[in-house]
Amino acid sequence: MNDDKEPQGNPWIKSAMIWAGVIVALLLFVSIFDSPRGAGAGTGIAYSEFRQKVQDGQVKEVAVAPDRITGTLTNDQRFSTTPVVDPGLPALLDDYGVKYSGQAEQGPSFWQIMLYQSLPFILILGIAFFVLRQMQKGGGAGGAMGFGKSKAKLLTEKHGRVTFQDVAGIDEAREELEEIVEFLKDPTKFARLGGKIPKGALLVGSPGTGKTLLARAIAGEAGVPFFTISGSDFVEMFVGVGASRVRDMFEQAKKNAPCIVFIDEIDAVGRHRGAGLGNGNDEREQTLNQLLVEMDGFEANEGIIIVAATNRPDVLDPALLRPGRFDRQVVVPRPDIEGREKILAVHMKKVPLAPDVNARTIARGTPGFSGADLANLVNEAALMAARRGKRLVAMDEFESAKDKVMMGAERRSMVMTDDEKKMTAYHEAGHAIVSVHEPASDPIHKATIIPRGRALGMVMRLPERDSYSYHRDKMHANMAVAMGGRVAEEVIFGHDKVSSGASSDIQYATKLARDMVTQWGMSEKLGPLQYEEQQGETFLGYSQSQRVHMSDETAKLIDKEIRSLVEQGYNRAKELLTKHEDQLHLLANAMLEYETLSGEEIKTLLDKGEITREDGTTIKPSSIPAAGTAIPKTRRRKGPFGDPAPQGA
């Protein structure tokens, strides 16, 4: 790899200098051809002065042209003048003995005529060249003939070397790719036993899990050139450009072999062929065909390893995934609690931390977070500490940042009436009480009646450990917890005062019951059969389901079973809240007073009847009014800048 390349200048300055040079050359060219007209013209004088000099005998000879009179004085000085209509001029010259001659009008030369006629065409060609240059900017040579040049960028150590030490939380994926690193370091180790390294590795995972970082770490560990390009960089509006860029990319890779070529978002160019409306001859399919040939054609590309990344493996063409091309598919999952702790440790190295920060606690409270989510969490905590004027990032900032990322920013400026606040407090208290008394439910992390995002209040539950499957008892518990808010409104305010705040809870419970019946076989009447199938893999957390062919009676039975499961959760929540109505009042009024309670505070309040908070204040049963009385004035807790927090929601 040659590192002695000249530094690249600003392309705009470069173009401006080129065009300035062209304009200067044209001006010089015109001035050269135009100079004979003015060559030897001499000093300009008035016509009257010219006649006077003739009469004084100071003029030796003249040359008369229709538009100019030039001549020489007796002292050999040259002069010129512009004539006027003067029929007596020849007689005057004869009288004073001045030699004179006529001079034909000098027209433009042949080269001047050619220049004047070709100048518009030169300008048109220059403008077209400039437009094409801008359209194809960044494509290899970057000129008008650079359509087929690859847009792959060669990253070297100047761009920041990344190793496996910078990649945490995805140990299994890293181990699968270490074999590629060993091959790039010592190819003969595998060749001795007849083994062949995979030509391509496909990294599959959700957005933000670290696929690109992992590919850069492979190149950093092996110390080889690393070409990076996006799948969308191949396809242009002109047919054949993408295929030409693929060929040029592999030619560049061969010159730098052994090397790694990383194609990000390969699904942009590697989708199923024949799925569109075209006849299979469009630009994208030609590009894919060329990529297939280059990866496993007649000509071997030794020492070139293709690493691609996508979060849509279900749409890729089968020819890409066959052995000989992308032989190895490496799943890059969302990290578990151990992985999240390691990822947090990597990102926390760049942040000054307070002694109370515990990465394990933060990792436990962030299930389902990807590497990018955790990086964003650390950044939000650092920004929050800076806004508060702190020099160290403490655990309080991490908790606030976590709440902001998971639940949304607090909307303290939102004005709620007393009735709405009371309704929200009892709604969230209903969720919390059912969750506390359901053994299979996840423990409560925090409950709040401060509006966040689109919710007026929220009860957040976090699992004690990462869960990869759900049991029937937990599903029933989750449905009961979801129904707890609606039931609490009915128990406290009556049937006619129920609000629309439980819409998302009802949607969640219905979806869960439908999956239990149609996909997981958890209905005794319908048995362990699948009545809905997913259309493709889950994408960004969403998947489309479609009912399989069934009779009308079966469809009615499915709807009946779904209703039965949701009603069971509703009845279970009503039973618990009726039995523990005193705890419902206790918790609701405590939330009205303090707005936000942690899971430990809720547990202590329900067990001991009081809470001793960090600020030394104690909530006792005597200080909590009974249900139906006026709402207490919200106690002012310190806001993010040390000022009292706004009152109310």
Is 471 known as a binding-site position? no
* Domain-wise residue ranges, the chain: 11-35+110-135, 40-102, 153-274+281-331, 351-407, 418-623
- Residue 2 pLDDT > 50, yes or no? no
Q: Of 77-81, 134-138, 512-516, 624-628, which gets the smallest average pLDDT?
A: 624-628
Residues 265, 397, 428, 595: which is the catalytic one?
A: 428
DSSP 8-state code for residue 434: H
Active site residue 428: yes
- Residue 640 pLDDT > 50, yes or no? no
Assign 92 to helix, strand or coil. helix
Is 264 known as a binding-site position? no
Of 266, 275, 262, 274, which Cα lies nearest the Cα of 312?
266
Domain 40-102, CATH number (from 3.30.720.210, 3.40.50.2300, 3.40.190.10, 3.30.70.3420): 3.30.720.210
Is 642 known as a binding-site position? no
- The continuous run of DSSP H or E covering 507 comes out as helix 503-518
560-596 exposure pattern, b = at least 16 Cβ within 10 A, e = fewer: ebbeebbeebbebbbebbeebeebbbbbbbbbbbbbb
Please identify, in words, the CATH class of the domain defined by 351-407. Answer: mainly alpha
Q: What kind of fold does domain 153-274+281-331 have according to CATH? A: Rossmann fold (3.40.50)
- Residue 440 pLDDT > 80, yes or no? yes
Q: What kind of fold does domain 418-623 have according to CATH? A: Methane Monooxygenase Hydroxylase; Chain G, domain 1 (1.20.58)
Rounded to an integer, what distance in angstroms lies between the CA atom of residue 251 and that of residue 242?
A: 14
The chain-wide mean pLDDT, for the chain, equals 76
- Residue 332 pLDDT > 50, yes or no? yes
Rounded to an integer, what distance in angstroms lies between the CA atom of residue 18 and that of residue 133?
A: 13
Whole-number pLDDT of residue 481: 93
Q: Of 103-107, 178-182, 310-314, which gets the smallest average pLDDT?
A: 103-107
Rounded to an integer, what distance in angstroms lies between the CA atom of residue 167 and that of residue 176?
A: 14
Is 463 known as a binding-site position? no
Question: Beta strands of 466-593 (E only): which ranges?
Answer: 532-539, 542-547
> Which pTM value belongs to this model?
0.61
Is 634 known as a binding-site position? no
Parallel, antiparallel or unpaired: strands 304-310 and 259-264: parallel
Its sign, for the CA torsion 367, 372, 375, 381, is: negative
Q: Of 10-14, 65-69, 147-151, 271-275, which gets the smallest average pLDDT?
A: 147-151
Residue 630's pLDDT band (cuts 50, 70, 90): very low
Is 495 known as a binding-site position? no
